[in-house]
Amino acid sequence: MSKPMSNSLSQQYLEPLLAGNRAACRSVIDAAVAKGIPAYDLLTKLVWPTMELVQTLYREDRITQATVNLATRLNRTLCDQLAASLPKAESNGKKVTIFCGNDEPEELGGQLCSDLFESAGWEVKFVGGGVPNDEILKMIGDHRPDVMVMYGTQPQAVPAVRKLIDYLREVNSCPEMQIMCCGGIYKRAEGLAEEIGADLYAPDAASAVKVADANPDHRASYDQQTVGRSRRVRKAAAEKRAAERVGMDADAA
């Protein structure tokens, strides 16, 4: 049974993390492992929540960019260490391709998603950020994943994600693939993932595998899909005007 993270353990980890004290952070992790806390719990209930807290502190101007970089790179090192200890389920025959934004925290979130999907038996390709849409399309066509995860934490990246989703829908090269939006920006802005046409939404990496496993057939509704939305709006307006004209003609008669 998973053991909950204590506030004291979180504080023990946060303070050296912000200071970039690699030895102290490793000592905290090693001591937790020695107490029998599973790697999965340390990743999902300690390392990642602490990283989200670091991002919140930065948004509130309570820490510097240098501190964020120190904490994120150190967290990535410890994620690698813990991921090696994750249990490995038998293959479930499903594939996932994971993309993310270019910032370090997003790379860390995408990496954690990759580790957890792989642990759950998925075949994983973690691409990262900065990939042009045509190259994403080719990779999707070659890999043909069941799920494509777009991991993001920054609001400025949302328009590009919407554009990519539209592009993939329009080309329709992998119609059976589900698109999942995951990460802090989608958690902070309720309904955003649905608004831009994603089939699935997960607030964080820990939830992504559970959401994908529990909803293999869920698709964005027709109204959620932004491809052709302007045409649908124009068509609805034209139909409304036509109905109004018919009504006016009937009144005149």
Both 145 and 194 in one domain: the answer is: yes
Coil, strand or helix: which one is 11?
helix
pLDDT tops 60 at residue 30: yes
Both 125 and 210 in one domain: the answer is: yes
Q: What are phi and psi of 93, to 5 degrees?
A: 80, 5
Both 113 and 198 in one domain: the answer is: yes
For 76-97, the pLDDT digits (tens) are 999 999 999 999 999 999 999 9
The full 3-state SS of 153-219, as one line of letters, equals: CCHHHHHHHHHHHHHHHHHCCCCCCEEEEECHHHHHCCCHHHHCCCCEEECCHHHHHHHHHHCCCCC
Q: What are phi and psi of 104, to 5 degrees?
A: -55, -45
Both 76 and 128 in one domain: the answer is: no
Both 106 and 186 in one domain: the answer is: yes
Both 135 and 78 in one domain: the answer is: no
Mean pLDDT score of the chain, rounded to an integer? 87
Q: Could you give the percent of the chain with pLDDT greater than 90? A: 65
Residue among 54, 72, 84, 57 nearest 110 (CA): 72
Host H or E run for residue 96 = strand 95-100
Both 63 and 26 in one domain: the answer is: yes
pLDDT category, 148, cuts 50, 70, 90?
A: very high
Alpha helices in 20-62 (DSSP H): 22-34, 39-42, 48-59
Examine the fold and report which residue of 83, 110, 142 is the final residue of a domain before the chain moves on.
83
Both 73 and 99 in one domain: the answer is: no
Cα(225)–Cα(230) distance, integer angstroms: 11
Answer yes or no: is 253 within a domain.
no
Looking at residue 153, its pLDDT comes to: 80
Per the CB < 8 A criterion, the answer to whether 96 and 123 are in contact is yes
Answer yes or no: is 197 within a domain.
yes
Residue 238 C-alpha from the chain's centroid:
38
Examine the fold and report which residue of 52, 83, 114 is the final residue of a domain before the chain moves on.
83
Residue 226 C-alpha from the chain's centroid:
20
Residue whose entry in the numeric block shows the structure tokens 């490793």: 26
Answer yes or no: is 238 within a domain.
no
Answer yes or no: is 11 within a domain.
yes
The set of residues, in sequence order, having a beta carbon less than 8 Å from that of 140 and lying 6+ positions away, is 97, 148, 168, 173, 174, 177
Looking at residue 187, its pLDDT comes to: 87
Looking at residue 1, its pLDDT comes to: 38
Answer yes or no: is 225 within a domain.
no
For 175-210, the pLDDT digits (tens) are 999 999 998 889 888 899 999 999 999 998 889 999
Answer yes or no: is 239 within a domain.
no
pLDDT tops 70 at residue 242: no
Answer yes or no: is 143 within a domain.
yes
The residue segments making up the domain with residue 35 are 7-83
Q: Could you give the percent of the chain with pLDDT greater than 70? A: 86
The set of residues, in sequence order, having a beta carbon less than 8 Å from that of 70 and lying 6+ positions away, is 17, 18, 19, 20
Q: What is the pTM of this model?
A: 0.82
The set of residues, in sequence order, having a beta carbon less than 8 Å from that of 52 and lying 6+ positions away, is 184, 204
Residue whose entry in the numeric block shows the structure tokens 């996932």: 96
Answer yes or no: is 249 within a domain.
no
Q: How many domains does the chain have?
A: 2
Q: What is the CATH number of the domain that holds 24?
A: 1.10.1240.10
Rounded mean pLDDT of 52-63? 93
Both 110 and 157 in one domain: the answer is: yes
Both 121 and 196 in one domain: the answer is: yes
